[in-house]
Structure 1
Amino acid sequence: MNLPQPFPRQNHPYLLRIRTLTIAAMSIFLLGGCGLVQKDKSSTANTSIGLKKIATLRISPTQSRVEQERMIKPLKRHLEKVLRQKVEFLIASSYKDNVDMLVDGRANAAYTGAVSYLEALERGANVKPIVAPIDKFTNRPWYRSCIIVRANSRIKTLQDLKGGKRVAFVSPSSTSGYLMPSAALKELEIYPRRDFTRVIFGGTHAKTEALLENGVVDAIATNIPSYMKRQNLGKLTPENSRVLWQSSPVPHSPLLVSRSLPPELIESIKEAFLTIPNGIEDIVETQAAGYTLVIDSDYEPIKQMRVRLQQENKEVSS
């Protein structure tokens, strides 16, 4: 497949902040769907980071438990070294689970995805984004959503999906696995529940991609980084699959922190992610080449798209 070319170096807020970093970009992981939870409220203070508590990071179940546990170990060592506290990892059950933890206060930090971030804000979570990964294939803190079909499929355009096709999305809370492709389909007046024979939510990008591999569906919504990782595993290869559609640039999933956390701890969390050394694998689908600072306004385009899509869905249902 033809990969998207790096974006022009214009004075975009993302790029300005990348240039201000004093820490060189390094190849690091993308932590999907995690939460940093204060578990021991009786612990004594640590003046270097503001708190000395056990941190629990929740991770979306994107791969087998054995594989994720293997990849977690070097990451765990790095985070504990920088934060100077014990870090535990728990595999989350779903996108919704991560949002629920932010809303009810069990989590004080999370890597959730842009749509889940907006859902958490709508439900009252007092959080803000601090960093996001730089995509390996674009060299920017952006990536692309996509729709994939089998290489020998008769589906040549998005319009060909209408009428009897089976399509899988990741989750209603997924930015690249639902929001972006849904918006593109609705621009063509294609409505999944009306125009597709079957709509499936795989739950994760890996499980969704497996549905196409196994012939369960005719097309899937995912993203380019996840698709490329699948190719590296010898699954969805250029010989047996192809990209039907790619989105415009999508801002990468933000690492969120509670605004109630001490500023010193927030800075330590930033440092931990910005200094992950080369060689530590990402533990979900995305291949990252560093982290950069982000702010709330970077996700305004996704917010506007989501509001517009919700309004269109109401109009179609009425």
Structure 2
Amino acid sequence: MNTLSSLTAGLALGTLLLGAPASQAEPLETLSFGIISTESSQNLKTVWEPFLTDMSAQLGIEVEPFFASDYAGIVQAMRFDKVDVAWYGNKAAMEAVDRAGGEVFAQTVDASGNPGYWSVLIAAADDDRLNSVEDVLAHAETLSFGNGDPNSTSGYLVPSYYVFARNGVDAKQVFKRMTNASHEANFLAVANGQLDVATNNTETIARIRETFPDKYDQVKVIWRSPLIPADPIVWRKNLPESAKQRIRAFFMTYGTTGDPHEQAVLTDLQWAPFRPSSNAQLLPIRQLTLFAERLRLEADTRLSAAAKAERRRALDARLAALEQRIEALEAAPH
């Protein structure tokens, strides 16, 4: 398996159930909901506030939004129990699971029914030089490049592998200038002529069409990745079990009863009703991360042959273990 779409095929994540770890006994008085910084906090607040208001009403406790300037801020907040539930991209969710006691319990569903979304490279619509990855790499030394947040799946991890690592290129070295910013900021920078090329994703571009319609046609997509699994919703594992049950029930029923208000709220978020998921959703992302690490290892000229061979064996063992887990999930009855 060597593409992200083939890695995700057959996992049937919606049928996976979560085990119930030991949890706190104290009931929650408030719940903090982390929202990753894909665009300005004001725009995110506008589309998320109705959802969180409904969540608060149905759970019977106050649900407060938690914004940070970058993805790592949400992960760190969950690590120190400042965020209870969060919407993440897959890579940030992996960080939350590994370093912040997080656990995937639900998955978003694209409003159009897509099983995920796509990472893209964008350039100015009138820039005739740039129409493909090959064009970008050929002109890289003259270009300003907008990379995504280092914890972004579509803005950083996926293009790091498919655009750069597989072509033996280090993005930090080849461009005239490189910056890191949110999807929205990168899109607007390209539209305004401040960047030549940038990473982004199909979900953000669909939102840009609504929030910045005058900028939408000023940008073109010059590359699209294989499919990325839809975003996970993560809670911290040490939440009280009673709270988890109520939170899960809210997510699994929201927008499923035909209520026009709930359907409108999900439409503004560009989602259909949620589906159940688990940490297994992150396995293809873990595999992709290791693939990229292995390519970087092979390109590293500083290591001795013996050191490189030792690290290669360790990476290959981890990749083989992941492959076995994915194959077991694909073979399991759904």
Structure 2 match to 1:201: 180
CA distance in 2, matches of 1:11, 1:115: 18
Q: Of 213, 219, 222, which residue of structure 2 is paired with 1:234?
A: 213
Larger CA Rg, structure 1 vs 2: 2
Q: Of 58, 77, 84, which residue of structure 2 is paired with 1:101?
A: 77
Length, aligned pairs only: 276
TM-score by length of 2: 0.74
After superposition, the Cα gap between the structure-2 partners of 1:182 and 1:236, relative to the gap in structure 1 and judged at 3 Å, is farther
The question of 1:132 aligning with 2:134 is answered no
Shift of the alpha carbon at 1:94?
1.5
Higher-helix-fraction structure: 2
Task: Tell me if the contact between 1:213 and 1:235 (Cα under 8 Å) persists in the aligned partners.
Answer: no
Structure 2 match to 1:288: 271
Q: Of 112, 123, 136, which residue of structure 2 is paired with 1:149?
A: 123
Shift of the alpha carbon at 1:266?
1.4
CA distance in 2, matches of 1:11, 1:193: 32
Amino acid at match of 1:148: I
- What SS is found at the alignment partner of 2:105? strand
Shift of the alpha carbon at 1:108?
3.1
- What SS is found at the alignment partner of 2:263? coil
Q: Of 79, 85, 89, which residue of structure 1 is paired with 2:55?
A: 79
Amino acid at match of 2:251: F
Shift of the alpha carbon at 1:253?
1.9
CA distance in 1, matches of 2:42, 2:71: 21
Shift of the alpha carbon at 1:281?
5.3
After superposition, the Cα gap between the structure-2 partners of 1:236 and 1:136, relative to the gap in structure 1 and judged at 3 Å, is farther
Instruction: Give deviations 1:114-169, integer Å, cap 9, x for gaps.
Output: 1112223333x3221011111124x1441111111112221122021123222112
CA distance in 1, matches of 2:171, 2:205: 22
TM-score by length of 1: 0.77
Q: Give aligned-pair identity as a percent.
A: 21
Q: Of 47, 56, 60, which residue of structure 1 is paired with 2:32?
A: 56
Structure 2 match to 1:191: 170
Shift of the alpha carbon at 1:65?
4.7
Structure 1 match to 2:327: none
Q: List gaps (5 residues or longer) in structure 2.
A: 18-23, 256-261, 303-334
After superposition, the Cα gap between the structure-2 partners of 1:113 and 1:196, relative to the gap in structure 1 and judged at 3 Å, is same
Task: Tell me if the contact between 2:121 and 2:199 (Cα under 8 Å) persists in the aligned partners.
Answer: yes
The question of 1:271 aligning with 2:249 is answered yes
CA distance in 2, matches of 1:66, 1:192: 31
Instruction: Give deviations 1:39-84, integer Å, cap 9, x for gaps.
Output: xx9xxx8xxxx72411122333444554444434422321112211
RMSD: 2.8
